[in-house]
Amino acid sequence: MSNPSLLILPGDGIGPEVMAEVRKIIGWYGDKRGLVFDVSEDLVGGCAYDKHGTPLHDDTMAKAQEVDAVLLGAVGGPKYDNLDFSVKPERGLLRLRKEMDLYANLRPAQCFDALSDFSSLKKDVVAGLDIMIVRELTSGVYFGEPRGIIKEGNERVGINTQRYTESEIARVARSAFELARKRNNKVCSMEKANVMESGILWRDVVTEVHQAEYSDVELSHMYADAGAMQLTRWPKQFDVIVTDNLFGDLLSDLAAMLTGSLGMLPSASLGAPMENGRPKALYEPVHGSAPDIAGQGKANPIACILSFAMALRYSFDKGDEADRLEKAVEKVLADGLRTADLLGAEGVSPVSTSEMGDAIVAALDATL
């Protein structure tokens, strides 16, 4: 039986630095747990443009289609701001999502107790927070036609079309319900059925899928604007939230800041099952390429490391090992170790990117 395969795409800015720490974790699992991965590495984003004139080479795209999971760092930077839209670094990431048909984006918002003071909300509101937002990723207003900027009379008009099919809504709803069954068995679907026909269809289809296939899961509905309000009022009322591409973009960023730092947040983008039964998958930290601190050893590698933990759980059915890694991260934070983005509290020890990675490896060792 062959080893599970991983394609690593470090990307730009701090991407290579945080991915180097993930490499340590992957090596630890091979050495200490007998969980060996076949790892390959390639370019995406600005570095790919520098070498190939495109943010994602066709050969790299082909590799991504063949492996069990893709792990990405970050893309972009001011160096590429003046490039044509079609070859900007971000287009490489969007191509991966689109051609792999990664329609369900999983964005956890988890607040470790040691970091609850970093949230802008009161500690009792966010301490112990653990919710998951499932965002539809390949349709909706970001992809709908017609779109563009046209001239009407003497002025320009910008057009974007919100468009969803029943099947697109149903498949992301199933992803949310399946995920809820492994958590607290509760889903809240968010849309704007009060003012948008696409929202009416969204609510109808989610309800139909629930009644036909997942009646054991608790389902509620909420308008997306009310959902944003409730996320800041009492986020722990939620478990799994499922929503469309646009609202998911907004709500997941809102939920991210409940936890205090973007440097802590992973994500997974999942598609249809492959022949081996594993979903096509791409895992990436939520943070950007942070070119202002690239190469300085200040980057927080935890979001990228937790993205690998998500890969262990959702691509490789190693939930116990994902738990082990997440608890190691929690232990390091509880011990007071902090990268630059998390400084400011008393009794903490400032550490570099590599020192944080080493500390997490040491915490993993302590679990054996």
pLDDT digit of tens for each residue in the chain (368 aa)?
Answer: 789 999 999 999 999 999 999 999 999 999 999 999 999 999 999 999 999 999 999 999 999 999 999 999 999 999 999 999 899 999 999 899 989 999 999 999 988 888 887 777 888 888 888 999 999 999 999 999 999 999 999 999 999 999 999 999 999 999 999 999 999 999 999 999 999 999 999 999 999 999 999 999 999 999 999 999 999 999 999 999 999 999 999 999 898 888 776 678 899 999 988 877 788 999 999 888 999 999 999 999 999 999 999 999 999 999 999 999 999 999 999 999 999 888 765 566 789 999 999 999 999 999 99
My answer on whether 348 and 250 are in the same domain is no
Q: Report yes or no: 196 and 162 within 8 Å, Cβ to Cβ.
A: yes
Contacts of 307 (CB under 8 A, 6+ apart): 22, 71, 266, 267, 268, 283, 284, 285
Residue 41, in any domain of the structure: yes
My answer on whether 251 and 281 are in the same domain is no
Q: In Å, how far from its chain's centre is CA 156?
A: 35
List active site positions: 142, 192, 225, 249, 253
The pTM for the full model equals 0.91
- Name the residue among 17, 175, 15 with its Cα closest to residue 93: 15
My answer on whether 242 and 283 are in the same domain is no
My answer on whether 97 and 22 are in the same domain is yes
In one-letter notation, the amino acid at residue 172 is V
Domain count, the chain: 2
- Name the residue among 9, 11, 12 with its Cα closest to residue 77: 12
CATH number of the domain bearing residue 318: 3.40.718.10
**Phi and psi torsions of 149, nearest 5°:** -120, 120
My answer on whether 233 and 174 are in the same domain is yes
Mark which of 198, 226, 258 sits at the end of a domain. Answer: 258
My answer on whether 33 and 95 are in the same domain is yes
Residue 323, in any domain of the structure: yes
Range of the domain at 311: 1-105+264-368
